Amino acid sequence: FTGKPVDGYLANRVVGTKALCAALERAQEHARCV
């Protein structure tokens, strides 16, 4: 077992979390405008 798969998983998880937060923020902005 090397650390590479885990590092990649954690990196993807962080990126996914940031993308999810950004999407939620855009949705909230859209909801306020509507």
> The tokens 């855009």 sit on which residue?
26
Distance CA 34, CA 18 (A): 24
The type of residue at 6 is V
Q: How far apart are CA 12 and CA 23, in angstroms?
A: 16
pTM for the predicted model, two decimal places: 0.57
Which pLDDT score, from 0 to 100, does residue 26 have? 92
Which residue intervals of 1-34 are DSSP H helices?
4-33
Q: Per residue in 1-34, pLDDT tens?
A: 566 667 777 778 888 888 888 999 999 988 887 7
C-alpha 34/C-alpha 29 separation (Å) is 9
Whole-number pLDDT of residue 32: 85
- Domain ranges in the chain? 1-29
